Structure 1
Amino acid sequence: MTSIKIVTDSTADIPEELVQKYNIHVIPLNVHFGEEQFEDGISLKPKEFYAKLTSSEVMPKTSQPSPQQFEELYRQVATEKDDQILSIHLSSQMSGTMQAALIAKEELKNELAIHVYDSKRASYAIGIVVVEIAKLVAQGADLEACQKRLNELLKDTRVYFMVDTLEFLQKNGRIGKASALLGSLLKMKPILSLNEPGEVYPHEKVRGQKKAAARILALLKEEFGSGEVHVGISHAVNEELANELALEIKHQFNTQSVVLTEIGSVIGAHVGPGTVSLSMTNVEQA
């Protein structure tokens, strides 16, 4: 019997309990502090990363897995020849991870059925999609149903985030269209999002973190209204605000699930400590 295997990468920031519960296979990206190299989420956990980031004189760099690593993982997860692999990854505008996955897919085209998707997102904005598809697989959905729902999620999921500083996005070259905000912030907090190609762009500026958080909730309320939603809140050592948002979201929205997660070392290297991201998508209608 054909089975569906779910593959993603460590930038999806999926809590370990959900990875285990839904049998999600995660390939790690790498973080480099000078000559030191770490595997995101494996040899460098979020709390360790942010402590190192604070004490290090070196700005961390990141790198994607190699095509060979993807080949190894695909062969490992496809235990039967008829298995179908859904491989969902970090925005191709931010990383070469997608390209590495596509090269591996091409190499294995005569062996395995691999379907690679560009999420055009980062952190739990990827994870919220991956987890929903993994739930469908666990319920026995077939490939067609999973791909249909995946395309819906990639179209309908929204993400907004706020950073303490644009320094990390700037220094790591991931600032995208948000570069227009440099030098003009003072006490303003940019509300950032990801556009259709999967680049960071500035949605608007708000004075202060609390007002920025309230504005993000208002933007999501405008789009999702009273419909039933899944919510993801990811943070970089800003658990207090993440918990406050979770309580407010449960009060304002019709939530089926709310997941809090830490932003891992790869995304954290680009957004910096203090960042909070909010992702939301509709619950599938029966």
Structure 2
Amino acid sequence: MTCVWVVLTGYLIGSLSGAILVSRWWSGRDIRTLGDANAGTANVARHLGIKPAAFVAIVDIAKGSLAILVARASLAPEVCTVFAGVAAVLGHRFPLYFRFRGGRGLATTLGVLLALTPRQTLMALPLYGMIYLGSGGSGILATLLGFPVLMLLIYWDGYDPWIIAAPMILALTTAVCSLPEILARWRQTRNARRLLYELLHPRITPLPKPTTVVLTDSVASLPPDLCQREGIHILPLALILPQGVARDGLDVDTRDYYQRLRSDGLLPKTSAPAPGEFLQAIRQAVGSDQTALILTPPAELTQCFFSASLAAQMAAEEGLQARVVDTRLAGPAQGLLALAAARMAASGASAEQIIDTLPALIPRIGIIGVLDTLNFIAHSGRVNVITPLLESALRLYPVLSLYQGHIRLESVERTRRRAIERMVDWMQKHLSGKIVALICFHADALEEGETLYQRLVELLQPHEHYFTELTPVIGAHAGPGVLGAAWWQEDE
């Protein structure tokens, strides 16, 4: 019974996720909605800063050590003590208090080892750290090379066989826990070399430069860290405001902008990038042996396709290659197509091969959303399906989807809550296949957006998921308060 008790206690202690608790306290956000969605120190450092990351590291190391101290205070056998540490790592990876979505467990593993064999772990730690930093952050390489040294040090000091084997047992635990994530990434890339590179991060063997570079515009509303990681280049549209022209997503205070849309009667205009801006983006993005693949929203909605096409002709005169595709998508759905194209490019596909694939891919990507007001979309004049609604004296909440370049009215509700429910019901009914990626979005509706995001992730179980705010250009046409989601379905 003592063994069962200490293992269960270790799991409950491990379930106290430092990353989730600190991120909520520090910023009011769940770290699992940011970056790679990992509830760990590195993700907190990238998105919230070094100080909160330091708190997370302390908490996660401490709980691993605490699980061991509790086991030893209970006079548990060494085998039970080791598995109390394993349980703490499992609790970190699958936390009971946070719907079993946690982090990878490196810091908790370190805490367990520090409590089991403090002197030997501190001796091996510099080697582990040098390998980790020298490999560009590869916990796998550091474990493969550092843990055998640690086990040898423990063996020389005559510890119990279970304590000697503890580093290997903990490493196997984290490896098995990581298998679902690795399999999901394999389904995304289908490229063994890319997957191996992402897992190991060796600086001495960089990936070859892709022959295709993907460009799209700011309408895609992709999270910046995702664009940076996947190599997607974003060209901002122009937002025409009373004080002058601003670049979408770069020169605008989003909070102030949406507040003005709500209270000041501001009705801004927007403009697609000029051909010269597309040409400059092509020059900066591609080399002589590369092709720029430019993905634009539907030509019926913006001038991006025509500007980009003219820029491609101008680039050809300079010896640069560019291809332009009207995606028939907009917003984060357009962003998901850019994501798919960027991953094909990273795996070595040429621009022509990617373009040949797009007709089969585009129908598997879609977007749906709820508008909070009809004023802005009526002012834009781009959506004819809502024209009959404008004559109503009632406040109505339309549910709109975009398919093959055409905006469709899926439902009209009298209350916002009912419209959101109808949208969720629509997604459950129509998205029968597995979801490769889901992007939940909002426009100045953060709390509602986060609630919807968590709900859709639980309902649809996408392989990967992101949360983003629509850029001000989309807000100019759809208005504040928009809620919705874009998806990319697997090929059945």
Q: TM-score, normalised by structure 2?
A: 0.54
Identity percentage over the alignment?
27
Listed as ranges, the gaps of 5+ residues in structure 2 are: 1-208
**1:251/1:67 CA distance change after superposition, 3 Å:** same
- Return the offset for 1:48: 3.8
Match of 1:147 in 2: 355
CA contact (8 A) 1:105 1:114 kept: yes
SS at the partner of 1:76? helix
- Return the offset for 1:25: 1.1
Aligned mate of 1:123, from 312, 321, 331: 331
- Return the offset for 1:73: 1.0
CA contact (8 A) 1:176 1:199 kept: no
Aligned mates of 2:406, 2:491 — CA distance in 1: 27
- Return the offset for 1:226: 4.7
Match of 2:473 in 1: 266
CA contact (8 A) 1:234 1:278 kept: yes
Match of 1:25 in 2: 233
**1:97/1:143 CA distance change after superposition, 3 Å:** closer
CA contact (8 A) 1:12 1:125 kept: yes
Listed as ranges, the gaps of 5+ residues in structure 1 are: none
Task: Please say which of residues 155-164 and 128-137 is displaced more in the overlay.
Answer: 128-137
SS at the partner of 2:463? strand
Match of 2:344 in 1: 136
CA contact (8 A) 2:238 2:245 kept: yes
Identify, as 1 or 2, the structure richer in helix.
2
Counting only pairs closer than 5 Å after superposition, residues 1-286 of structure 1 correspond to structure 2 as 3-54=211-262, 56-79=264-287, 81-110=288-317, 111-184=319-392, 186-196=394-404, 198-283=405-490
Identify, as 1 or 2, the structure richer in strand.
1
Aligned mates of 1:54, 1:211 — CA distance in 2: 22
CA contact (8 A) 1:9 1:89 kept: yes
Aligned mates of 2:435, 2:473 — CA distance in 1: 31
- Return the offset for 1:107: 2.0
Aligned mates of 2:359, 2:274 — CA distance in 1: 26
What's the Cα RMSD here? 2.1
- Return the offset for 1:66: 0.6
CA contact (8 A) 1:11 1:264 kept: yes
**Number of residue equivalences:** 283
Query: Which structure would you say has the larger RCO, counting Cα contacts within 8 Å and 6 or more residues apart?
Result: 1
Aligned mates of 2:344, 2:256 — CA distance in 1: 34
Which has the larger Rg? 2
Q: TM-score, normalised by structure 1?
A: 0.90
CA contact (8 A) 2:442 2:469 kept: yes
CA contact (8 A) 2:236 2:247 kept: yes
- Return the offset for 1:47: 2.6
- Return the offset for 1:118: 1.2
Task: Please say which of residues 42-51 and 247-256 is displaced more in the overlay.
Answer: 42-51
